[in-house]
Structure 1
Amino acid sequence: MQALALFDLDDTLVDRGKAFNAWAEEFVAAHGLDEKALTFLVVTDAGHSGPMNDYFATVRETFDLAERPGQLWERYRGRMPELASCRSEDLDALGRLRRAGWRIGIVTNGMTDNQLTKIRNTGLDALVDTWCISDEVGIRKPDPEIFRLAARRCGASPEGGGWMVGDSLDLDIAGGRAAGLRTIWLPPKHRPEPSSRPAAAPDFTVGSVAEAVGVILAAT
């Protein structure tokens, strides 16, 4: 198996939950809302998937805000990348993986400006070889072609195997497996697990990126 490791960004490499909670606290303070509003923002986000326009339409209606949903979303999109962070132990683990000769890529759904700012602000750009952002490449997970494209950008053969690490059973695990990769699942901490049976089961389940890197290095 070739030395290729691909990683999801939000809630895998980047602690999105921590960033979102910080944003929600700022939002509540800025709009003069209370603790119940903070809980509503966090819980509603946990049950939401996909673009955030519907989320902010709900927020505007619930709190009777003057701003349009698009305005709320635009401010959110500008602030969230500034709040993004990675766990130091995960960054150290990526460094170990790279020093061991592995090619590393990021595969993420999202808008190019947001995701690229997160990658650069957290220092991930210095630790990975490439990234594929769905908005940039016109392909969204779980389409296996986005994983194949990331492999090619790493100078690897899509058919040569490798690993995909992520928090979504449907997007990361099923998509990675369809592309011919072994998979490692990080169960999401801020979202409920899917109630339906996933399309594919992971090869391994771990609690952090650092643990996932340990699995990858031990399996070679």
Structure 2
Amino acid sequence: MKVALFDLDDTLYAYNPCHEEGLFQLTSYLVSTWGISKEEVLTKYDSSRKLVHAQLKETAASHHRLLYMTKLCESFGKNPITYSKHLEEVYWKGYFSKMELDENVIPIFEGLIKRNVKIAIVTDLVAEIQYRKLLHLGLENYISVIVTSEEAGADKPNPAIFNLALNKLKMNSPEDAIFIGDSYSKDIVGANSIGIKAFWVSNDSDPVKSNSLTIQVRDLKTLRGIIFEHV
């Protein structure tokens, strides 16, 4: 094995505490400045998010918080040019305040690099925010390549994003790579579709999701205990 491809969100750190804090800060701000209820904010945020996803399908832009905020402003009759960018930053400030790297990531990364394995990040969403996350987590010096769905033109599990990562790493054979991620439908299915062995970080016990190209691990601590056997 020559390269290890990692998902970012909810694999290297816990997504939910970050998102919940981002939404809390956004909601608190709008309740105090626009005089609307928490319930109204959350309902219209959710409908704005769903509208963006419906319009943009499986693309990086469908995850863009700025677009969510634009639709949110429009739903309240507010000028999105005036408010959207600020609201996006309110959300991300709250989000980053809760972002903590899983304690097993650095030992895994350092062990891989020690064994001459290159590390890449393969992630949905727009490049700008995913780069910010990696810098916030202090991972920039460990990573050889990052590929976002914005750059690849499609979200996972589209093979394009996985193939682009291999091409950037100058890998001709998927057998020289492994993928580590938490989403079966996006990470595991996508990696397996081009012949990459995957480590699925999940407690899901569905036997239908078991196959010869996938090894399921409960968490990164478990992964840390076995990954070097595959290098």
Q: TM-score, normalising length from structure 1?
A: 0.73
The 8 Å contact of residues 56 and 69 in structure 1, kept in 2 or not, is answered as no
Question: Percent identity among equivalent residues?
Answer: 20
SS at match of 1:10: coil
The 8 Å contact of residues 14 and 86 in structure 1, kept in 2 or not, is answered as yes
Change (3 A) 1:69 1:173: farther
SS at match of 1:6: strand
Distance 1:203 1:35 in 2: 46
Paired letter, 2:23: A
Residue deviations 1:45-64, cap 9 Å, x none?
9x9776247865886699x5
Instruction: Answer with 1 or 2: which has the greater Rg.
Output: 2
The residue number in structure 2 matching 1:219 is 230
Change (3 A) 1:56 1:167: farther
Deviation at 1:180, TM superposition (A): 1.2
Q: Does residue 7 of the first structure (1) align with residue 41 of the second (2)?
A: no
Deviation at 1:202, TM superposition (A): 6.4
The 8 Å contact of residues 165 and 212 in structure 1, kept in 2 or not, is answered as no
Deviation at 1:164, TM superposition (A): 0.9
Paired letter, 2:27: V
The 8 Å contact of residues 90 and 208 in structure 1, kept in 2 or not, is answered as no
The residue number in structure 2 matching 1:120 is 135
SS at match of 1:88: coil
The residue number in structure 1 matching 2:27 is 28
Q: Does residue 187 of the first structure (1) align with residue 228 of the second (2)?
A: no
Unaligned runs of 5+ in 2: none
Describe how 1:54-69 pairs up with structure 2 within 5 A. 66=78, 68=80
Distance 2:201 2:111 in 1: 19
Distance 2:202 2:37 in 1: 27
Deviation at 1:137, TM superposition (A): 3.3
SS at match of 2:31: coil
SS at match of 1:126: coil
**CA-based RMSD:** 4.0
Change (3 A) 1:99 1:118: same
Deviation at 1:30, TM superposition (A): 1.4
The residue number in structure 1 matching 2:216 is 205
Task: Return the match for 1:140 from 149, 155, 174.
Answer: 155
**Count of aligned pairs between the two proteins:** 210
Change (3 A) 1:204 1:171: same
Describe how 1:44-193 pairs up with structure 2 within 5 A. 51-52=62-63, 66=78, 68=80, 71-72=83-84, 75-76=87-88, 79-80=91-92, 82-83=96-97, 84-187=99-202
Higher helix share: 2
Change (3 A) 1:95 1:27: same
Distance 2:112 2:221 in 1: 10
Q: TM-score, normalising length from structure 2?
A: 0.70
